[in-house]
Structure 1
Amino acid sequence: MTTEHIEQIFTDYIKTDKTQYAILLNGSWGCGKTYFWKYTLDKLAKDSKFNTIYLSLNGISKIEDLDHQLFIKLIPFISNQENNIIKNATKFLGNALNKLSSHYLNASLSAIFKGVSIDTFNFSKYIVCFDDLERCQIPVKEVLGFINNLVEHKNLKTIILAHEPEIDKANGYERIKEKVVGRDLKFELDIASTLPNLFDKYSTNTDFHNFLMAQKNVITEVLIEYKQDNLRIITFYLDTLERVFPAFKNIETAYIQEIILFSAIITIEYKSGGFSSADYNNFKGIDIIDEHYYSLYIARTIRKSEKEEKERDKPYAETFYEKYLDKKVKEYFFYPSIYSYILSGYFDQTKLENEIKKRYPEVISKEIQDFRTLLHYKFRELSDEDFARLTKDVLQYAKEGKYSIYDYVQIANFFYFFSKNNLITESKEDIDKIINDGLDIAKSRKQINDKVLENLLHFGDENPDVTVIKKLIKEIHNEIKKEEYVANSNELIDCLTNKDEFVLAEIFEKHKFSKELFQYTDDKLLLDTILKISNKQLFNFTELLRHRYEISNIGEFLFEDTDCLNKLKTRLSDYLDKNENIEQPRKFLFATLETTLMLTIQHLNDTRKK
């Protein structure tokens, strides 16, 4: 049933005098029933001069407690026309709160309101919303009996929110429901009308709010496409978009809409249990899905019989494709930074910005064009003039360091071959000098890629001279990598000394699952720094250290940290043994850090990859 229809039925209900039935609003968990009450029906009731009360039944175990909770909710509405007992009890409670007397505060509400019952109220201008009927610990027959007494004998207008499939229907549920409930309304969230209300949460972030309003139709279509009506998931999704929004500056609409779609399906899959936080760097094959994957998928399914298809164990990526991308594969692109953020909570904006840049058509420079044209097995098809020009130009570009450090493997491979077969006049020694000169320049850009290096080292070489170049490139790669790690370690030490706890927390968050934080840290310098910092910073450092390694399989990712942590613990233990007269609580804080290091090292060892 549409929300507009429910609003009309509810309006008719509150306008009808002396009703003797309740309305049941029935819908799945998280579909927005409570939100609809609070932001739509409650307003309609108040506009009609009704006092509204919201009461969750979740966890209530006795009718007496329910009666008591409802009474407490009624207190703010007590007027001069109400029963004298109620007025006196309320005055008594006010005195207790004002005087803050231990005698008054120790008195239970049941004693204060002894002899007072909700039966003394005039409910003619009240509407009560009872939420979470299925989560109430009182037998549902008793709860509905309690509500029936109010609606039938006190004419209380009542709306009940429930997910009926979860209700225990034994012991005459249907019979008592028929007696109490006059309207059983199936609630279905209207995404289009609800989204602007959800967008209001971001009204203080003007740019993002304007973005949401501009993309409302796109977001609505995506949520409808995947039948998503769970407000908790939708809110998580919008929070995700807000976090990644700063990376949207000056990018094309097509890529923004890619991110809107991608963020939605990853959020839905994560919140429905398809991914876990531990999968933050395990893409499970969904990073290779594209239109080409679609063609392979169709080919596989066509070749198999229906029986074979049912019995086959499908890869996760294929199931994911069938669930989300059967009609959307042309609009799908995998963004690793967003995937990792949704699963882990850590967002690398620079990484996302670089991923977006790569979506734009590549502008190929002349040196790269020449490289690709020449250093290919089809060089034999080039004219003599083109070959002469290209070999001269590529060698010059290589000497000037215009290529990636990894490109020099291919340059060595081909130019050694050209020289050996007298296709060029340069000797092997000439080529070696050009490669070394070029690498000296190229490495100054400090551009490295672990995966590219891994692929280079994976394959063997027919020419041992090429292997020598590979070894040199690996050394350059590791040298740059070490500089990065050392810089990050120095950043940590500088922060401990000169920054507050919030900056320290940001550094730990930035390197949440990264080996760069401790792998090249000077343990002696780190301890010297720790010995000088304030108690507050020492406490914060220990807590952040503990949180960094608390997940169950952390050893699979950060086992290399144990070297630094072991050395730090040893140095700290030696220091504590030699300095027994350290003042408290500083001595206690050092001991806590020592214990944290010991437990962390043990946990890393226990959870390392075997």
Structure 2
Amino acid sequence: MELLREVIKRYLSKDLTDYALNIDGPWGGGKTYFIKNKLNDLFGESGNYILMYNSLNGLNKPEDLISMLESSIFPYGTPNNFNNEPLKSNLLKFIEAKKAKILLCLDDLERIDDKCSVSSVLGYINTYFIEHNNIKTIIISNEGKIKEEEIFSEIKEKVIGRTIRFNADNLSIFKSIISNYPELQEFYLKNNELIDGVFTAYDSVNFRSIRFLFEILEEVFSYLAYGENSLDVEDNTLNDILLGIFVFCFIAGIEYRKGTFRTTTDSVNILDPFRSHFYKIDETNPNPVNELRKNNVIINNLYRYYNSLSEFIIDGHFSKDKLINEIKEKYYIKGIEDSSFGIIESYENYELPEIINSFSTVINAIEEGGYNPLRYPYMYLVVKELLDKEYINFEGSLKNSFLKGLEVAYHKTTLDVVDELRFNRHFEDSVEPIYVQLVNLLKEKRRLTIDQRNSSQIDEYINALKKNDYSLISKSVAYFSSSSNFFQYLSRNERQKEFILLSNRSLNSFIVTLNQMYLKISNANEFYSSEAIFMEEFKAKLTVELENSKEVDKLKRDQIENILLTIDKVITHVRNDQI
């Protein structure tokens, strides 16, 4: 970093230059941040330079560069005081009129449009700025991503006087970025040694990912520090909780941005220590979170898995109630409701008046949905035992209190219902009628939740097909690949009618989906054989719809016929017959 500052300072101090500097480094490594935020002192020392910065991303004609630089998206001024006003004259006249000296910074050389060659862009920059007008110019690039690598190597000798490899002082940039987030900055100052140890666990970090992560953490920390939440803990305990959340979000955010996982199912398998032991990303790459925990004492001691925060990172939904419940479970934080039930649960160790008082608190909390709904069946057995032994008198209906309370609790709490084994481990083999009724109610609630979630996901998939949004299509494919019920939901609610209205491109995208989800999987019968009956149902409905649709043109009819043939292949494949 100091070498880079020294080279730039020397470059700015020269009266006339006919060459540019090139700063080379990986994407997200902090190059642009450094230029915009870490050169203030040099600009004054070297003769009152001002920075004019622009990205070359998307440039498709060299001659468009001047108009791009003159537009309102072109900031100039001191690095911390960019002015985005459009230029009132052409660029060169503007520069001539300025008493201050100009440093022109052109970023993202590797991101110019494919129609535009690197050689033509550099030649244009050299002609109009560097050679004839002696304008100090810095070009920022990631040379490893420049497609015309050989041509670039040749021409940069004529245009670029020196290339400096950007080796960021990661910790310094990290501290600078965190200073923009008040809640995190205060937290960092209190725990800087621990947090520095977490940050340095990664050899290289994309700083765009850090900003993405800090946006999430700032919202979470603001809620936990100042929001009206049900955490009632000492400051030291809250700090421990925030440390655990910081560590989890730091790792989960970086791994998500790297593409290590994309769905909540994969996040559990990879990020949850109790599950990740049984999960491998592939045969050659071990679980990255396990590796970090193994190699970093700080992370190993502070790490906790949060399903609610994983969901926040993946899809942007922040379930505050779910986070609070997870925190309470992980840090054994008990409110008066939990403490009171603890007395009820271990009644042999308490005096009867204390038990009676606690029962009043517990039954009120039950009716108001104050407990995790998965606890209700067990709690019913505990309370019923006290009533059967006539330690407590209760004039109301225990059955109604629990059933109605369970309804309220389920709607108040966002449950992780995807994993059936985790869900069922909360229940015992009791045959007590009300207990069984409570368990069955929870199972039905779980079924409806999953059903609604899957139906919503199918809606998203069809909308993605309509828009030809390949990113959303891929997200839906990833979701249903692990659930084995794609056609079960696709065959519902006359969705085949929507297929008749899809564009031909969208119909082709559906065929790509079928290939990706089924035909490319050699052992698809092990996972998807149960879907065959729904595939046949969807095919039959689509066939009828096609026959009844008289206005479908010949080309679209052929496209849909192709889909029907592809579905036949998929059915044969998942039933493990010969295609």
- What's the TM-score once normalised by structure 1's chain length? 0.54
SS of the equivalent of 1:282 reads helix
SS of the equivalent of 1:158 reads strand
1:109-148 → structure 2 map (5 Å cutoff)? 127=137, 129=139
Whether the aligned pair in 1 keeps the contact of 2:292 and 2:299 (CA below 8 Å) is no
Aligned partner of 1:159 among 158, 162, 166: 162
1:286 aligned to 2:273? Answer: yes
Whether the aligned pair in 1 keeps the contact of 2:507 and 2:560 (CA below 8 Å) is no
Residues in 2 aligned to 1:525 and 1:423: alpha-carbon distance in whole angstroms? 52
Residues in 1 aligned to 2:544 and 2:323: alpha-carbon distance in whole angstroms? 47
1:10 aligned to 2:8? Answer: yes
Q: Which residue number in structure 2 is paired with residue 262 of structure 1? A: 248
SS of the equivalent of 2:206 reads helix
Q: Which residue number in structure 2 is paired with residue 372 of structure 1? A: 342
Residues in 2 aligned to 1:8 and 1:322: alpha-carbon distance in whole angstroms? 39
Displacement of 1:234 in angstroms is 1.6
Task: Name the CA shift for 1:557/1:424 in 2 (closer, same or farther; >3 Å).
Answer: farther
Displacement of 1:160 in angstroms is 0.8
Q: Which residue number in structure 1 is paired with residue 318 of structure 2? A: 349
Residues in 2 aligned to 1:33 and 1:400: alpha-carbon distance in whole angstroms? 54
Q: Which residue number in structure 1 is paired with residue 404 of structure 2? A: 441
Displacement of 1:501 in angstroms is 6.2
Whether the aligned pair in 1 keeps the contact of 2:143 and 2:149 (CA below 8 Å) is no
What one-letter code is carried by the residue in structure 2 that aligns with 1:483?
L
Whether the aligned pair in 2 keeps the contact of 1:409 and 1:470 (CA below 8 Å) is yes
Task: Name the CA shift for 1:548/1:262 in 2 (closer, same or farther; >3 Å).
Answer: farther
What one-letter code is carried by the residue in structure 1 that aligns with 2:493?
L
Displacement of 1:444 in angstroms is 3.3
Which structure has the greater CA radius of gyration? 1
Aligned partner of 1:582 among 552, 558, 570: 552
Deviations 1:168-222 (A, max 9, x none): xxxxxxxxxxxxxxxxxx74336546876x799xxxxxxx977677778689974
1:188 aligned to 2:156? Answer: no
- Listed as ranges, the gaps of 5+ residues in structure 2 are 44-48, 53-99, 227-238, 277-285
1:71 aligned to 2:123? Answer: yes
Structure 1 vs Structure 2 CA RMSD = 6.3
SS of the equivalent of 1:159 reads strand
- What's the TM-score once normalised by structure 2's chain length? 0.57
SS of the equivalent of 2:537 reads helix
Residues in 2 aligned to 1:220 and 1:550: alpha-carbon distance in whole angstroms? 46
- Listed as ranges, the gaps of 5+ residues in structure 1 are 60-64, 79-120, 151-155, 163-185, 201-207, 290-313
Task: Name the CA shift for 1:567/1:395 in 2 (closer, same or farther; >3 Å).
Answer: same
Displacement of 1:282 in angstroms is 0.6
Task: Name the CA shift for 1:583/1:444 in 2 (closer, same or farther; >3 Å).
Answer: same
Displacement of 1:437 in angstroms is 3.9
Q: Which residue number in structure 1 is paired with residue 65 of structure 2? A: none
Displacement of 1:288 in angstroms is 9.5
Whether the aligned pair in 2 keeps the contact of 1:240 and 1:263 (CA below 8 Å) is yes
Q: How many residues align?
A: 476
Whether the aligned pair in 2 keeps the contact of 1:199 and 1:212 (CA below 8 Å) is yes
Task: Name the CA shift for 1:542/1:241 in 2 (closer, same or farther; >3 Å).
Answer: farther
Task: Name the CA shift for 1:407/1:331 in 2 (closer, same or farther; >3 Å).
Answer: closer
Whether the aligned pair in 1 keeps the contact of 2:21 and 2:139 (CA below 8 Å) is no
Displacement of 1:547 in angstroms is 5.9
Whether the aligned pair in 1 keeps the contact of 2:272 and 2:305 (CA below 8 Å) is no
Aligned partner of 1:227 among 200, 213, 223: 200
Residues in 1 aligned to 2:434 and 2:476: alpha-carbon distance in whole angstroms? 34
1:17-416 → structure 2 map (5 Å cutoff)? 31-33=29-31, 36=34, 48-49=101-102, 70-77=122-129, 127=137, 129=139, 158-162=161-165, 187-189=167-169, 192=172, 222=195, 226-227=199-200, 233-242=206-215, 250-252=223-225, 254=239, 259-269=245-255, 279-286=266-273, 319-324=291-296, 326-327=297-298, 332-339=303-310, 342=313, 345-350=314-319, 354-356=322-324, 358-359=326-327, 364-365=335-336, 369-376=339-346, 379-383=347-351, 406-407=374-375, 409-410=377-378, 413=381
Whether the aligned pair in 2 keeps the contact of 1:399 and 1:438 (CA below 8 Å) is yes
Q: Percent identity?
A: 13
Residues in 1 aligned to 2:485 and 2:272: alpha-carbon distance in whole angstroms? 29
Residues in 2 aligned to 1:248 and 1:544: alpha-carbon distance in whole angstroms? 42
Deviations 1:354-387 (A, max 9, x none): 2146436856455x555432334xx444446666
Residues in 2 aligned to 1:73 and 1:332: alpha-carbon distance in whole angstroms? 50
Task: Name the CA shift for 1:321/1:128 in 2 (closer, same or farther; >3 Å).
Answer: closer
Residues in 1 aligned to 2:562 and 2:354: alpha-carbon distance in whole angstroms? 71
Q: Which residue number in structure 2 is paired with residue 476 of structure 1? A: 441
Residues in 2 aligned to 1:575 and 1:452: alpha-carbon distance in whole angstroms? 42
